[in-house]
């Protein structure tokens, strides 16, 4: 099939590369001209394992094209994926400007029947707005062209995006016209071979499913984070509790890790947007609101541990930081908890020497502080440090070299925001250990 992907960010680029890989002809469009020229050279502007190989391979095979020309992009695909950003607006609702601009462009330039598939995460009712926007443009042009707006939310995880796209647990497709089904089957045919992955539903249900999934995961994390605070007070260990409840098949082990709080480009904004949808419809979503509050508290709670440790002598303390991104295997710094905790400790007079294996360039754009020194490696951050904070559970951070830590650090405190170390081992090696939800 001939497919256009509008927006070439984390979701658009992965969608385009993967659909090209399974044999479709794909054109990726973006309004960011620099991004498109970088991509045309086979260079990837984001860090996503395996994506560069896939893009280069499919450019060579002439199945993957990039354009910044809107008319070409609309003319190319009978399928037009919308995969642009939906950041939080000022009131917490999803900002639909980019989605509606993409719809407007389609309406302005389409000359034949299209399937408009929305992959961006959008509130219920957005497909209707997309339809209205396209119709308005067609009316202005005096054209009557058939099109369908389909909701197909994306569930990929940054850091494992290719695998998630290529081996989806499910493909949610919201349609209002049953005649769209054959085209959807053709589009996703290779994923359907083993068993049916497509789950058809109506459009509002598909739009809501995406928020339901992310908010459920955020609730699980916040639940464990709150329990971790209680565990510390009552002398329990949150990891033992996790194992204890995770073994119940009704609960399962995933997304039960206590930590410094959730972040990233999706959970925080999707939680906010669902709360907003609830309020607009006068339906209180108290569980989701509590999850958001608990997440905010968790980041503060972690910063408070550091403050409590140093007490009144905190000003001037030098903190080594390992990991900045909200999770490993991504350079995405959007809403990373490290940003809040560093900002909080900076107000106390701390300075920071930081290292992340891939997110340093992105971090420099959002960590405005002059109190931050960017280091080349883990070891360099430790020189003269009074404490070490770990924000991201990168594999390369998981084994501690205590000899190096002792030689380089001035202080003895390790704050483990992801519970990756065994406190007993850390203490045996002469350091003080502060995990989350640990005795
Ligand atoms: N990042 C994730 O892990 C993830 C996972 C699932 C769903 N989503 C959702 O997918 C959507 C996209 O997220 P993302 O992380 O890929 O965003 P992103 O910011 O990485 O990419 C969005 C891209 O769209 C481009 N763009 C904006 N307006 C445009 C327009 N009118 N025409 C063409 N291009 C335009 C931007 O220049 C940018 O390159 C969001 O709704 C997000 O919630 C994201």
pTM score, two decimals? 0.95
CA distance readout (Å), 82 to 37, 101, 287: 20, 10, 30
Beta bridge partners of 26: 3, 64
Considering Cα of 250, then 238, then 294, then 433, what sign does the dihedral take? Answer: negative
* Residue 79: pLDDT band with limits 50, 70, 90: very high
Under the banding of pLDDT at 50, 70 and 90, the label for residue 439 is confident
369 has pLDDT over 80: no
> Which of 4, 5, 6, 12 has most ligand 1 atoms within 8 Å of CB, for mutation?
12
- pLDDT in the model for residue 368: 75
Mean pLDDT, to the nearest integer, of 231-253?
97
pLDDT digits (tens, 9 = 90+) for 13-69: 999 999 999 999 999 999 999 999 999 999 999 999 999 999 999 999 999 999 999
Is 158 a pocket residue for ligand 1 (Cβ < 6 Å)? Answer: yes
Q: What is the mean pLDDT of residues 401-408?
A: 97
Residue 188's nearest CA partner among 208, 172, 212 is: 172
> How much is the pLDDT for 194?
84
Pick the atom of ligand 1 nearest to 120's CA: 41
Residue 330's pLDDT is 94
Across the chain, mean pLDDT equals 97
Cβ(266) to ligand 1 under 6 A? yes
Share of the chain above pLDDT 70, in %: 100
Residue pair 246/236 in contact (Cβ under 8 Å)? The answer is no
**pLDDT tens string 94-140:** 999 999 999 999 999 999 999 999 999 999 999 999 999 999 999 99
Question: Which residues make Cβ contacts (< 8 Å) with residue 257, sequence separation at least 6?
Answer: 221, 224, 242, 418, 419
Model confidence at 370: pLDDT above 80: no
Across 237-253, average pLDDT: 97
Choose one of 85, 156, 162 to mutate for the ligand 1 pocket test, by most ligand atoms within 8 angstroms of C-beta.
Answer: 85
Dihedrals φ, ψ of 328, to 5°?
Answer: -70, 165
Is residue 266 among the annotated active site residues?
yes
In the chain the domains, ranked by start, together with CATH numbers, are: 2-201 (3.40.50.720), 220-434 (3.40.50.720)
Q: Is the CB–ligand 1 distance for residue 98 below 6 Å?
A: yes
Alpha carbon of 301 to ligand 1 centroid (Å): 32
């Amino acid at each position: 099939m001939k497919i256009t992907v509008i927006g070439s960010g984390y979701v658009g680029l992965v969608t385009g590369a993967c659909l090209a890989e399974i044999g479709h002809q794909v054109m990726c469009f973006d309004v960011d001209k620099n991004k498109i020229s970088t991509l045309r050279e086979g260079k990837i502007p984001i860090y996503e394992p395996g994506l560069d190989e896939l893009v280069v391979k499919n450019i060579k095979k002439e199945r993957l094209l990039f354009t910044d020309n809107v008319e070409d992009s609309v003319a190319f695909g009978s399928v037009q994926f919308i995969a642009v950003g939906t950041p939080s607006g000022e009131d917490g609702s999803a900002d639909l400007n980019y989605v509606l601009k993409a719809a407007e462009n389609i309406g302005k330039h389409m000359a034949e029947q299209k399937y408009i598939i929305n992959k961006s995460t959008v509130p219920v009712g957005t497909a209707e707005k997309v339809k209205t926007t396209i119709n308005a443009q067609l009316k202005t042009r005096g054209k009557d062209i058939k099109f369908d707006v389909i909701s197909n939310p994306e569930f990929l995880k940054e850091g494992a995006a290719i695998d998630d796209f290529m081996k989806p647990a499910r493909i949610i497709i919201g349609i209002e016209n049953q005649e769209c089904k054959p085209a959807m089957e053709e589009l996703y045919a290779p994923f359907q071979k083993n068993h049916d992955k497509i789950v058809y539903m109506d459009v509002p249900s598909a739009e809501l499913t995406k928020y339901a999934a992310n908010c459920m995961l955020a609730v699980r994390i916040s639940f464990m984070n709150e329990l971790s605070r209680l565990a510390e007070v009552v002398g329990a260990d949150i990891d033992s509790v996790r194992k204890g409840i995770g073994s119940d098949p009704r609960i399962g082990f995933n997304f039960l890790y206590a930590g410094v709080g959730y972040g990233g480009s999706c959970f925080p904004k999707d939680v906010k947007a669902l709360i907003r949808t609830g309020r607009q419809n006068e339906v209180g979503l108290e569980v989701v609101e509590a999850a958001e509050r608990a997440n905010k508290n968790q980041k503060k709670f972690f910063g408070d541990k550091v403050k409590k440790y140093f007490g009144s002598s905190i000003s001037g303390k030098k903190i080594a930081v390992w990991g900045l991104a909200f999770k490993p295997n991504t350079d995405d710094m959007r809403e990373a908890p490290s940003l809040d905790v560093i900002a909080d400790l900076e107000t106390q007079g701390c300075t920071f020497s930081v290292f992340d294996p891939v997110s340093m360039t992105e971090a420099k754009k959002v960590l405005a502080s002059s109190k931050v020194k960017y280091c080349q490696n883990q070891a360099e951050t430790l020189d003269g440090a009074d404490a070490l904070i770990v924000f991201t559970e990168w594999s390369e951070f998981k084994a501690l070299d205590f000899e190096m830590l002792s030689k380089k650090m001035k202080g003895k405190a390790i704050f483990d925001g992801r519970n990756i170390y065994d406190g007993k081992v850390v203490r045996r090696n002469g350091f003080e250990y502060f995990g989350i939800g640990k005795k």
